[in-house]
């Protein structure tokens, strides 16, 4: 390991919101991304390095120390329950993990009910229903979770909701929020001790100007909702 | 349930190879697919219905009986270890689950070695290394598995290989085959008893003409390698 940092960042829509935030903290990923093509590892200015990984893989690369820091959604972090340091809630990519069901087939849940639930988040879903005293049969899906409710594979689904438009298009209604989700900086604990650039990055991200954040979102220490 | 069948088919590249096979068996999905747009459920001629799902979700829809039949790769079926009836090896989408490693950092494996392995197939991988008496630490990944080897997250990877071109581009070499993979018809066991159309489909697929199969592949009963 040199003094530069290795970043594990999620491919896809969150990367657009991450770019100006890191830019304001002095890490330029925009120019490297412009010429990235299909490459998954990119060299950055200042001896830093970027790994572009699937969002659910970010915690793995950080936990094993292949990346010093990463950016991951609270949904992924809590579902996987890893032992990472999460020093900054970046306030970006806000959405919620929610329970939804067909608008024409509402489930009357009460203590003792049993319900079939399709989800990409089996651990968080199990915990959610258990906390309400409801026996849920969790059916893990990898692709479209809405289809689970549309085909009666499941009575309810637990899925990420941003605008709610996908639910509406599929005749589903949101009935409960399981978790409010934003993206967080995650750090490989030994890197924090060994690499001064990590603390500098944390400080810079905590004081990043409002102009590089989505409207109304504030950075902050991570709090447990 | 009516007399028509519900099919769970994998979205993506395998669907192209499935279409002529099902066509020869009297199930026309080509016309429905032409007008599908982004729809995930399609009505077919003859009262049949089509669900387009992620390949790894096919066994779930068939196991719960939401679909009467499905088509799934042997890799998915053996990784998930579900209790489905697999009456026809369709011989399509041939590939192999293989062990690969960096060409410039070969691992000398012998009984007692420990090795870190990145894969989308934790169960099959665990079983493979255990059968050789090797202690493998399995690191599940959801996105690019090659990146696991390139970044030294893992010493070896276990991944699907078709031509081997992706491995070569990443400086990896294939060192062992874990499983030969083709796609299979899978059936919800009660549907076989209740719906005569299922047996008809099985017979038709077993005798499908050579012209609708990829070169050299033969249908057959499923055998355990």
Instruction: Give the C-alpha separation, A202 to A208, whole Å.
Output: 10
Residue A151 is predicted with a pLDDT of 95
B107 burial (CB, 10 Å; 0-12 / 13-18 / 19+) is: middle
Which helix (H) or strand (E) covers residue B8, if one does?
A: strand B6-10
pLDDT value of position B113: 79
Burial class of residue B133, CB neighbours in 10 A (0-12, 13-18, 19+): exposed
How far is the C-alpha of A33 from the C-alpha of B99, rounded, in Å? 31
Does the beta-carbon distance from B41 to A139 stay under 8 Å?
no
> What are the extents of the domains in chain A?
6-94+182-212, 95-179
Q: How far apart are CA A58 and CA A74, in angstroms?
A: 12
- Structure-derived torsion over alpha carbons of residues B176, B182, B183, B187, reported in degrees to the nearest 10: -90
Q: Which of the pair, A221 or B139, is modelled with greater confidence? A: B139
Question: Are the Cβ atoms of A54 and B142 closer than 8 angstroms?
Answer: yes
Band (B214; pLDDT cuts 50, 70, 90): low
* CB A6, CB A68: distance < 8 Å: yes
If one counts every other C-beta atom within 10 angstroms of the C-beta of residue B112, the result is 8
Q: Is the pLDDT of residue B60 over 60?
A: yes
Under 8 Å CB-to-CB from A108, ≥6 apart: which residues? Answer: none
User: CATH class for domain A95-179?
Assistant: alpha beta
Kindly report the CA angle at B203 between B93 and B82, in degrees rounded to 5?
55
**Best of A60, A65, A118, A154 to mutate (most B CBs within 10 Å, chain B):** A60
Residues B170-183: pLDDT tens digits?
999 999 999 999 99
Count CB-CB contacts under 10 A for residue A36: 14
Confidence of residue B224 (pLDDT cuts 50, 70, 90): very low
Q: What homologous superfamily does CATH list for A6-94+182-212?
A: Periplasmic binding protein-like II (3.40.190.10)
Chain A CB contacts of B147 below 8 Å: 40-41, 51, 53
> Residue B54: which of A61, A143, A152 has the nearest Cβ?
A143
Query: Do the Cβ atoms of A40 and B144 come within 8 Å?
Result: yes
Residue with tokens 């399709």: A118
Rounded to two decimals, what is the model's pTM? 0.90
The pLDDT score that the predictor gives to residue A225 is 36
Mean pLDDT lowest for which of B18-22, B56-60, B218-222?
B218-222
Judging contacts by C-beta atoms under 8 Å, the chain A residues touching residue B11 are 143
Condensed to tens digits (0 to 9), the pLDDT of residues B79-107 reads: 999 889 999 999 999 999 999 999 999 99
pLDDT given for residue B129 in this prediction: 95
pLDDT at A188 over 80: yes
The band of A212, judged by pLDDT with boundaries at 50, 70 and 90, is low
Inter-residue contact A85 to A63 (CB < 8 Å)? no
Average pLDDT score over chain A: 91
Identify the residue among B36, B143, B146, B165 best suited for mutation to test binding to A, counting A beta carbons within 10 A and taking the highest. B143
Tokens of residue B57, six digits: 């979700």
- Residues of B within 8 A of A38 (CB-CB) are none
Residue whose token pair is 């409002």: A210
Q: Which two tokens stand for residue B81?
A: 């270890």
Enter the DSSP assignment of B211: G
CB contact under 8 A, A60 and B139: yes
Query: Could A41 and B147 be called an inter-chain contact, meaning their C-beta atoms sit closer than 8 Å?
Result: yes
CA distance B151 to chain A (A): 7
* Three-state SS letters, B79-124: HHCCCCEEEEECCCCCEEEEEEEECCCCCCCCCCCEEEEEECCHHH
Question: With contact defined as beta carbons under 8 Å apart, do A164 and A174 qualify?
Answer: yes
Please give the backbone phi and psi of residue B140, each rounded to the nearest 5 degrees, phi first.
Answer: -70, 130
Q: Are residues B64 and A141, on separate chains, in Cβ contact within 8 Å?
A: no
Question: What superfamily does domain B95-180 belong to in CATH?
Answer: Periplasmic binding protein-like II (3.40.190.10)
Tell me the shortest Cα–Cα distance from B137 to chain A, in angstroms. 12
Q: What is the mean pLDDT of chain B?
A: 91
A57 to B11: CB separation less than 8 angstroms, yes or no = no
- B147/A40 touch (CB, cutoff 8 Å), yes or no: yes
- Reduced to 3 states, what is the DSSP secondary structure of residue A156? strand
- Residues of chain A contacting residue B54, judged by C-beta atoms under 8 Å apart: 141-144
Pairing between β-strand A183-187 and β-strand A69-73 as defined by DSSP bridges: antiparallel
Question: Rounded distance, CA B91 to CA A128, Å?
Answer: 43
pLDDT band at A118 (very low <50, low <70, confident <90, very high): very high
Instruction: Please determine, for residue A197, whether its predicted confidence score (pLDDT) is greater than 50.
Output: yes
Q: Is the pLDDT of residue A207 over 60?
A: yes
pLDDT value, residue B38? 82
Q: Do the chains contact at B143 and A11, CB–CB below 8 Å?
A: yes
Q: E-strand spans in chain A?
A: 6-10, 41-43, 49-53, 69-73, 85-89, 95-102, 114-119, 135-140, 156-161, 172-181, 183-187
Question: Which residues in chain A touch residue B143, judged by CB atoms under 8 angstroms apart?
Answer: 11, 53-54, 56-57
Distance (Å, whole) CA B192 – CA B225? 26
Interchain proximity A64–B139, CB inside 8 Å = yes
Q: Is the pLDDT of residue A219 over 70?
A: no
Characterize the bridge pairing of strands A114-119 and B41-43.
unpaired
Quote the minimal CA–CA distance from A196 to chain B in Å.
Answer: 22
| A57 interaction partners in chain B (CB closer than 8 Å) | 141-143
Closest to B185 measured CA to CA, from B84, B96, B50: B84
Answer whether residue B21 shows pLDDT above 60: yes
| DSSP secondary structure, A113-132, as one string | -EEEEEES-HHHHHHHHHHT
Share of chain A above pLDDT 70, in %: 92
The average pLDDT across A190-195 equals 96
- pLDDT tens for A47-93 read 999 999 999 999 999 999 999 999 999 999 999 998 899 999 999 99
Q: Per residue in A135-176, pLDDT tens? A: 999 999 999 999 999 999 999 999 999 999 999 999 999 999
Q: Which of A56, A139, A140 sits opposite B142 (nearest CB)?
A: A56
Q: What is the pLDDT of residue B177?
A: 97
Chain segment B102-157, per-residue pLDDT in tens:
999 999 887 777 899 999 999 999 999 999 999 999 999 999 999 999 999 999 99
Output A212 or A145, whichever has higher pLDDT: A145
- Across the interface, do A61 and B151 touch by the CB < 8 Å criterion? yes
The answer, yes or no, to whether residue B5 has pLDDT greater than 60, is yes
The answer, yes or no, to whether residue B215 has pLDDT greater than 60, is no
Percent of chain A exceeding pLDDT 90 equals: 83
B145 is written with which tokens? 């598995």
């Amino acid at each position: 390991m040199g003094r530069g940092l290795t970043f594990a960042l999620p491919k896809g829509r969150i990367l657009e919101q991450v770019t100006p935030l890191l830019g304001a903290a002095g890490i330029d990923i925009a120019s490297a991304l412009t010429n990235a093509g299909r490459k998954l590892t990119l060299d950055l200015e200042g001896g830093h390095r970027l790994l572009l990984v699937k969002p659910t893989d970010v915690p793995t690369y950080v936990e094993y120390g292949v990346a010093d820091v990463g950016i991951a959604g609270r949904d992924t972090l809590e579902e996987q329950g890893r032992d990472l340091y999460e020093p900054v809630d970046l306030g970006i990519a806000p959405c919620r993990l929610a329970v939804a069901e067909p608008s024409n087939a509402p489930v009357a849940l009460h203590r003792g009910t049993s319900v079939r639930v399709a989800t990409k988040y089996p651990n968080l879903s199990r915990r959610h229903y258990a906390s309400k005293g409801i026996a849920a049969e969790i059916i893990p899906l990898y692709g479209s979770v809405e289809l689970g409710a549309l085909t009666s594979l499941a009575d309810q689904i637990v899925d990420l909701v941003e605008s709610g438009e996908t639910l509406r298009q599929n005749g589903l209604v949101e009935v409960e929020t399981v978790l409010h989700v934003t993206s967080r900086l995650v750090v490989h604990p030994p890197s924090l001790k060994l690499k001064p650039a990590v603390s500098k990055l944390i400080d810079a991200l905590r004081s990043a100007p409002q102009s590089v954040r989505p409207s109304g979102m504030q950075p902050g220490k991570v709090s447990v909702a």
